[in-house]
């Protein structure tokens, strides 16, 4: 094993606990009632697919499309449905809600699985791990998309101060 491969494996091992700690911090933050803005929802809608694409490129493994597409579709449905269960209210022209954090735990589980496969398994197994990340990405997009739609229904653009949330 050459030095570069050893370095990549070390970074791979170190990334897993760092991601888990990051998610724990996010869970503590998201699990409280707070303002939900369109901007934050749009950022979250874009982050999950961007991360999946970047991660696929970094691993040098393509996503198994025959598994990835159906899992994204199922994830969109599950996430969209789950987003409907988030209680939202309007206070002083601001949407307030307590967001669910289950999709973050799902994402970290699929990330760690994929990372372990990338470190110890074949490219085919790693592509399977990326397919599971397609499901968790779909749930994140479905949930945040559902919340964005509900936000729009609760607080139309003209009701938002300055025209942006």
How do residues 26-57 score in pLDDT, each as one tens digit?
777 766 778 889 998 999 899 889 988 888 88
By percentage, how much of the chain surpasses pLDDT 70?
90
**Token pair listed for 53:** 């694409």
How far, in Å, CA of 111 to CA of 133, rounded? 7
How far, in Å, CA of 63 to CA of 61, rounded? 7
How far, in Å, CA of 132 to CA of 55, rounded? 13
Calculate helix-pair angle for 3-30, 102-120, nearest 10 degrees.
Answer: 170
Residue 35 DSSP code: E
Give the tens place of pLDDT for each residue, 61-85.
Answer: 888 788 889 999 999 999 999 888 8
Bridge partner list, 95: 90
Rama region for 92: left / alpha / beta (φ>0; ψ in -120 to 50; rest): left
């Amino acid at each position: 094993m050459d030095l570069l491969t050893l370095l990549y494996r070390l970074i791979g091992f170190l990334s897993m606990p760092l991601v888990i700690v990051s998610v724990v911090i996010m869970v503590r933050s998201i699990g409280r009632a707070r303002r939900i803005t369109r901007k934050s929802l749009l950022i979250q809608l874009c982050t999950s697919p961007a991360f999946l694409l970047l991660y696929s490129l970094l691993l040098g493994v393509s996503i198994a499309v025959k598994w990835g597409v159906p899992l994204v579709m199922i994830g969109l449905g599950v996430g969209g449905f789950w987003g409907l269960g988030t209680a939202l209210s309007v206070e002083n022209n601001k949407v307030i809600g307590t967001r669910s954090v289950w999709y973050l735990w799902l994402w970290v589980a699929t990330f760690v699985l994929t990372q372990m496969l990338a470190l110890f398994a074949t490219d085919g197994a790693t592509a399977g791990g990326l397919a599971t990340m397609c499901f968790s990405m779909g749930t994140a997009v479905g949930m945040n998309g559902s919340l964005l739609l509900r936000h729009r229904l609760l607080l139309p653009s003209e009701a938002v101060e300055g025209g942006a949330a």
